[in-house]
């Protein structure tokens, strides 16, 4: 019996080592083939060294910031399911926001905000719920769930039999904490395996691309290619570590188009939103997450810095403190994409339907923390000083400041508070998915 158990454990590690080897082969072939095409031939290498922040112990103030962020998760924890609300007091979540919660758990433990016992209990409870979610077509997680009942719901938190489809980008993100748990917290291997055996990950990849599922006009489920430059590569990296064929999704060159914004050439996606029915948002979040979770790659490090520099240049030229990302807001339309570039326009702010949302341009708290964690620059310091009061000790971090009137966007979310915690954990220990790091138990 013991030998059988040992064989199962050994087989598990062999599978994941094989997946890692496959991922390394894919990454090497992509980078060696595309580096000159994307960076060299386009003269895209930065004109100055990228001023990465060196890892260090958090200051007392930074540690307090981390404790404030954790308070959000204390307030919005659902004890019966082990999940957390996406938005304060609203019992619904997505896979993206559940990933933010799991990353917050990992970060809070590494920063010694919570004990290993609390971390272990809450992680196991969340994984057990993820392993018993009702799935779309019995294949993959729905786009939204009720955090109290685990029922599949729409974005109004109304139960929907069969669900409304799945997001490949969201699922790609939740596989990041799954990988961290597998490699650095092996005591959770059984629970993570139960989740991955329940979900049919192969259903969201075709020919090396990511595919989401949505309801068509006739209420039938249809598959659509999902992801644009920045998000597409980020979401694919965790799948590549698991041996999935995401070769085409990981490539930057195929749809790359450089757009000059405030004197900086930034990467944008050339796929036409009108033709492909998907917006090509260029925001801070995907590049920040790629950097603080994976450590970036030789291309994404440069792209991230360019996206950051464009925002710095906007401040220099217009005097507007700028850190843009998608965010919940505290008034209709309730969710806005504040972008460096999207749908043919610089500094465009739109809703998910493409409607104008320029009245809600926002300095994003999570983007400010992310850039501050990555770069040791005067502008990054300005960003953190611009948002360091946007919090409540008893509630967490607010989403940001409206540009138009300087008022606080008082929405409290798992994503904002999760990224705050991740950013601070990155300052202390570097990239969170670090396979060579000591296992913390």
DSSP assignment of 250-302: H-SSTTEEEEEETTEEEEEE-S-HHHHS----B-SHHHHHIIIII---TTHHH
Pairwise CA distance, residues 229 & 18, whole Å: 27
Mean pLDDT estimate for the chain: 90
Q: SS3 of 49, please? A: coil
Is the per-residue pLDDT at 45 higher than 80?
no
Provide the pLDDT for residue 273: 78
pLDDT over 70 percentage in the chain: 88
Is the per-residue pLDDT at 5 higher than 50?
no
pLDDT over 90 percentage in the chain: 79
Pairwise CA distance, residues 194 & 112, whole Å: 28
Provide the pLDDT for residue 173: 97
| pLDDT confidence bin for 266, thresholds 50/70/90 | very high
Provide the pLDDT for residue 19: 55
pLDDT in tens, 134-190: 999 999 999 999 999 999 999 999 999 999 999 999 999 999 999 999 999 999 999
Q: What average pLDDT does the segment 403-407 reach?
A: 96
Is the per-residue pLDDT at 358 higher than 90?
yes
Provide the pLDDT for residue 272: 80
Contact 329, 360 (CB under 8 A): yes
| pLDDT confidence bin for 437, thresholds 50/70/90 | low
Provide the pLDDT for residue 416: 98
pLDDT in tens, 327-357: 999 999 999 999 999 989 999 999 989 999 9
Is the per-residue pLDDT at 199 higher than 90?
yes
DSSP designation for 375: B
Is the per-residue pLDDT at 35 higher than 60?
no
Provide the pLDDT for residue 41: 38
Q: Cα dihedral sign for 374, 315, 366, 343?
A: negative
Report the 10 Å Cβ neighbour count for 409: 23
Pairwise CA distance, residues 374 & 55, whole Å: 10
Q: 95 or 26: whose pLDDT is higher?
A: 95
Q: 281 or 159: whose pLDDT is higher?
A: 159
Provide the pLDDT for residue 325: 97
| pLDDT confidence bin for 28, thresholds 50/70/90 | very low
pLDDT in tens, 114-129: 999 999 999 999 999 9
Is the per-residue pLDDT at 29 higher than 80?
no
Q: What average pLDDT does the segment 81-110 reach?
A: 98
Provide the pLDDT for residue 218: 77
Is the per-residue pLDDT at 1 higher than 80?
no
Pairwise CA distance, residues 419 & 328, whole Å: 14
Is the per-residue pLDDT at 374 higher than 60?
yes
Contact 302, 291 (CB under 8 A): no
Q: What average pLDDT does the segment 323-328 reach?
A: 97
- Over the range 346-374, which residues count as b (16 or more CB within 10 Å of their CB) and which as e? bbbbbbeeeeebeebbbbbbbbbbbbbbb
Provide the pLDDT for residue 43: 41
Give how far Cα 15 sits from Cα of 11, 180, 263, Å. 6, 16, 47
Query: Which DSSP string corresponds to 9-23?
Result: HHHHHHHHHHHHHHH
Provide the pLDDT for residue 188: 97
Q: 42 or 397: whose pLDDT is higher?
A: 397
Provide the pLDDT for residue 195: 98
Pairwise CA distance, residues 31 & 26, whole Å: 9
The helix (run of H) or strand (run of E) holding residue 389 is: none
Residue 20 CA to its chain's centroid (Å): 21
Provide the pLDDT for residue 111: 98
């Amino acid at each position: 019996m013991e030998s059988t158990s040992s064989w199962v454990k050994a087989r598990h590690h062999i599978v994941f080592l094989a997946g890692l080897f496959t991922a390394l082969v894919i990454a090497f072939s992509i980078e060696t083939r595309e580096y000159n095409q994307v960076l060299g031939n386009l003269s895209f290498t930065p004109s100055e060294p990228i001023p990465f922040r060196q890892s260090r112990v958090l200051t007392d103030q930074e540690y307090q910031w981390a404790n404030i962020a954790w308070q959000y998760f204390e307030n919005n924890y659902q004890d019966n399911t082990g999940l957390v609300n996406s938005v304060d007091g609203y019992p619904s979540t997505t896979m993206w926001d559940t990933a933010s919660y799991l990353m917050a758990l990992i970060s809070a433990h590494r920063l010694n905000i919570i004990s290993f016992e609390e971390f272990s209990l809450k992680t196991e409870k969340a994984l057990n719920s993820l392993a018993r979610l009702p799935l779309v077509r019995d294949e993959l997680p729905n786009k939204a769930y009720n955090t109290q009942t685990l029922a599949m719901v729409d974005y109004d938190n109304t139960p929907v039999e069969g669900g409304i489809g799945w997001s490949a980008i969201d699922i790609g993100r939740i596989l990041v904490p799954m990988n961290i748990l597998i490699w650095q917290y092996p005591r959770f291997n059984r629970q993570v395996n139960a989740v991955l055996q329940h979900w049919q990950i192969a259903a969201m990849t075709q020919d090396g691309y990511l595919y989401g599922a949505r309801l068509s006009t006739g209420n039938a489920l249809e598959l659509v290619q999902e992801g644009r430059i920045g998000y597409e590569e980020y979401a694919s990296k965790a799948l590549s570590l698991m041996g999935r064929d995401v070769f085409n999704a990981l490539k930057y060159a195929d749809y790359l188009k450089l757009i000059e914004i405030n004197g900086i050439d930034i990467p944008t996606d050339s796929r036409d939103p009108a033709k492909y029915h998907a917006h090509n948002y260029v925001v801070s979040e995907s590049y920040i997450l790629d950097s603080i979770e994976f450590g970036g790659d030789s291309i994404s490090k440069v792209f991230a810095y360019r996206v950051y520099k464009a925002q710095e240049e906007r401040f220099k030229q217009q005097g507007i403190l700028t850190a843009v990302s998608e965010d919940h807001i505290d008034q209709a339309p309730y969710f806005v994409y504040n972008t460096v570039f999207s749908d043919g326009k610089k500094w465009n702010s739109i809703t998910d339907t493409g409607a104008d949302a320029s009245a809600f341009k926002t300095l994003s708290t999570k983007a400010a923390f992310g850039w501050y964690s990555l770069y040791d620059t005067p502008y990054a310091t300005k960003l953190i000083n611009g948002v360091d009061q946007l919090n409540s000790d008893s509630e967490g971090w607010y989403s940001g400041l409206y540009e138009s009137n300087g008022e606080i966007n008082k929405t409290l979310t798992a994503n904002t508070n999760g990224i705050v915690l991740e950013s601070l954990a990155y300052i202390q220990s570097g990239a969170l998915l670090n396979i060579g790091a000591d296992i913390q138990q």
